Amino acid sequence: MIIESLVVGPIMANCFIIGCERTRKAAVIDPGAESGKILLKLASLNLTVECIINTHGHFDHVGANKKLKEATGAPLMIHPADEPMLSHLKQMAAQFGLSTENSPKADRALQDGDTVQVGDITLQVIHTPGHTPGGISLFTPDVVFVGDTLFAGSIGRTDFPGGDYDTLIRAIQQRLFPLGDHVTVYCGHGPETTIGREKRFNPFAGLQ
């Protein structure tokens, strides 16, 4: 499996490209900005985009949805609880003194337990709300992409509309931690970590 990380936009969000080595099919997770940069990386890897997946609806993770979808024709996927945010990205960005484009509507609503097939790779959808109502994580053996649910040594903010601290902590403890200490966690901002490391050292995790 090919995993490429690109830091995009003024809030420095992580965009991930997951590629199947055999079929050269790929998923783009959280194209927050800089669609040209993402497309260049895809071309350099000789990958064809099969789908665009948003872990949640905040503008810094979805701001390049429109241009990437126009360039690739790939279907856009998000949890239905966050789908309404896609038409209000301009207003969200403006609150931070920034600008972005509104996103097209999603082509597929991702629910807990769904799977997304990318060549030989199967991504399992895990509903991990708390940062947003429709936050999801994407799991394939030994790897999970968590958006802004969990960070190395920290957790996602819960003071935005729809956020809830207790819900977020439950999602981390009940949905992510059981995946296994060896699992690599790819976060929406900052470096990757592991489930085991966050269990032991994350001051918010509640298991120390």
Tell me the pLDDT tens digit for each residue of 113-169.
Answer: 999 999 999 999 999 999 999 999 999 999 999 999 999 999 999 998 899 999 999
Residue at 206 is within a domain: no
Residue at 106 is within a domain: yes
What are the pLDDT digits (tens) for 37-67?
999 999 999 999 999 999 999 999 999 999 9
Residue at 140 is within a domain: yes
In 10 A of CB 99, how many CB atoms?
12
Residue at 100 is within a domain: yes
CA atoms within 13 A on the CB side of 115: 9
Of 17-31, 83-97, 127-141, minimum mean pLDDT range? 83-97
In total, the chain counts a number of residues equal to: 208
**Residue 29: CATH number of its domain:** 3.60.15.10
List, in sequence order, the alpha helices (H) in 10-62.
35-44, 59-62
Query: How far, in Å, CA of 119 to CA of 78, rounded?
Result: 20
pTM of structure: 0.96
Exposure string over 21-39, b if 16+ CB within 10 A, otherwise e = eeeebbbbbbbbbbbebbb
Residue 205 has pLDDT above 80, yes or no: no
Domain residues for 129? 2-201
Residue at 208 is within a domain: no
Residue at 97 is within a domain: yes
Residue at 207 is within a domain: no
Query: How far, in Å, CA of 181 to CA of 133, rounded?
Result: 26
Q: Domain tally for the chain?
A: 1
Residue at 127 is within a domain: yes
